[in-house]
Amino acid sequence: MLWFGLLAVLVSATATNQCDTASKGGECFKPSGHYGPAFLQFKGLVKQTTGCQGDDRTLCTLEVSTCAPFSEWPDVDNGVTCGGCKALVRAAPYQGRCDRYCASFGHRCTAAAEEKSESCEAEEEKRCDEEISDTSDILCTCEREDGAPSSTPPTPAPPAECWAELPGLATEEGASIGEVPRGSSVSACRRRCDENPECKSISFCPEWDCWLKDRSFTGTEPTREKGSCKTHFKTFCDATTTTAASSNQNGYFKLRVVSYNIYWWNAFGQNPWKGERILNNIKDNLVPDAIGLQECDSRSRVEDATGLQRASKFAGAQGVMVDPSRLRVVPGTSGSEDLQATGKWGPRHVTFVQLADTTTGRTFWIFNTHWCVANGNGRTCNEGVRYTGARNMLRVIQSKAGNSPVVVTGDFNADMDEDGPQHFFRNGFKLAVTEWVDAIFYTEQHWKLVAQGKGDAAQSDHRPIFAELELL
């Protein structure tokens, strides 16, 4: 007999503490010490659970997803999904709100949180309608409006899309379907194209503008010279670009890395015009693949102005950002550690992340820091304190990166002859470039220094420094 979708049947339970939920589902009760007939009940709404437990009567519930397959979820950040209808998703398109994210594909939000270290671990639980600010990604749990699984089979995930470029401007560019504001970076232009379903390529001219185009390319099309314009086009990623930590040891990879203390309290807090010059300096002159920032109080402000994206966790107003067209984050590798070397202005940290080249898939680690500078507030900062921070930082590097390629950026508030920087030299690191107290180091066995230099301070109290490194 059937009552409101509940079907009662007689089955024989197995001689274990586990219901056969895969083939039967619903709820089962198993008398202790007897494995004869059991009463099985199918429910119209089923929830997620683990296996049966208990001595006398054991309850099992069929595990059925109440959300769409993750392949149908939009804007999942670096492919990080957590099970239980939860995923790490991009915050910006949804104003940092999980209710808006879930509604974008016909679901409702049941839980929201700020992520920890680019993972499924929650740093802080939030309301679904609460804006989670100052972060590029959030943890959202989304379920279907009716709470029931779809009756249609899941749609296979489409091939992942990447970007490539022609050596010049395509002879036939295709029809224009939009223009990006003058001064936009190539990553910002690509992002605008990604948001337009009709856009298949862009014509990017640094000295002029960027135009969205409707033409698809294979990479073999004829080109023409027009200033420094190039055609960038969408293409399917190959295996090395979709595997998080794959490494094509034969792929040529050159990195442009920058370290820059951007003087936030003065240049953005007291004199905003200075901040604009610093942001333009990053976008137009430094053009980093990866940048270690110090004294950065708002990651989102830098992201919006430059097209760069946060890569590492930020702690103590410092962390790493990248050009997403060139580098991607290896999921689960972002984090920070307290160096236990506190001065007047509070704890000092090292922030870190493993990155992969979007073309070759080759990976490396980058660590960024800002060491203590002054005494005060009952705390002492001196060469010995910084040396303690250096030793602790090297332990973090060795623990995280092992024998992998490493780049270190930072404002060390130290002369390179101090014990702190010398500790790096004694442990396999070489100096790429230094200016005043800022420096970039690299593991000598992994990298070849191609070029290095110092940029314009652009109203900061520090000049940015850069290095171009070839991965061996």
pTM here?
0.54
Which pLDDT score is estimated for 161?
Answer: 58
Q: Does 165-234 carry CATH code 3.30.460.10?
A: no
Which pLDDT score is estimated for 183?
Answer: 65
| CATH 3.60.10.10 residue window(s) in the chain | 245-471
Q: How far apart are CA 54 and CA 257, in angstroms?
A: 57
Give backbone dihedrals phi and psi of 180, rounded to 5 degrees, phi first.
-95, 140
3-state SS of 215-250 is: CCCCCCCCEECCCCCEEEEEEECCHHHHCCCCCCCC
For 378-397, give the DSSP string: TB--SHHHHHHHHHHHHHHH
Buried b (16+ CB within 10 A) or exposed e, 79-88: ebbbeebbbb
Give backbone dihedrals phi and psi of 389, rounded to 5 degrees, phi first.
-60, -40
Which pLDDT score is estimated for 132?
Answer: 83
Per CATH, the homologous superfamily of domain 245-471 is: Endonuclease/exonuclease/phosphatase (3.60.10.10)
Which pLDDT score is estimated for 158?
Answer: 45
Q: Are 339 and 350 in contact (CB under 8 A)?
A: yes
Which pLDDT score is estimated for 8?
Answer: 38
| CATH 3.50.4.10 residue window(s) in the chain | 165-234
Which pLDDT score is estimated for 187?
Answer: 72
Which pLDDT score is estimated for 411?
Answer: 98
Q: Are 321 and 308 in contact (CB under 8 A)?
A: yes
Q: CB atoms < 10 A from the CB of 33, how many?
A: 7
Give backbone dihedrals phi and psi of 260, rounded to 5 degrees, phi first.
-150, 120
Q: How far apart are CA 407 and CA 409, in angstroms?
A: 7
Secondary structure element (H or E) that encloses residue 39, with its range: strand 37-41
Residue 471 corresponds to which tokens in the numbers above?
A: 């991965």
Which pLDDT score is estimated for 15?
Answer: 37
Mean pLDDT by runs of 10 across the 472 residues of the chain is: 39 39 36 37 36 42 66 86 89 84 88 85 85 83 69 45 78 88 73 86 84 87 85 64 38 93 95 96 95 95 93 94 93 92 93 92 96 93 97 96 96 96 96 98 96 95 96 93
Q: Are 66 and 147 in contact (CB under 8 A)?
A: yes
Q: Are 375 and 344 in contact (CB under 8 A)?
A: yes
Which pLDDT score is estimated for 443?
Answer: 97
Secondary structure element (H or E) that encloses residue 279, with its range: helix 272-280
Q: What is the number of H-type helices and E-type strands within the chain? A: 8, 29
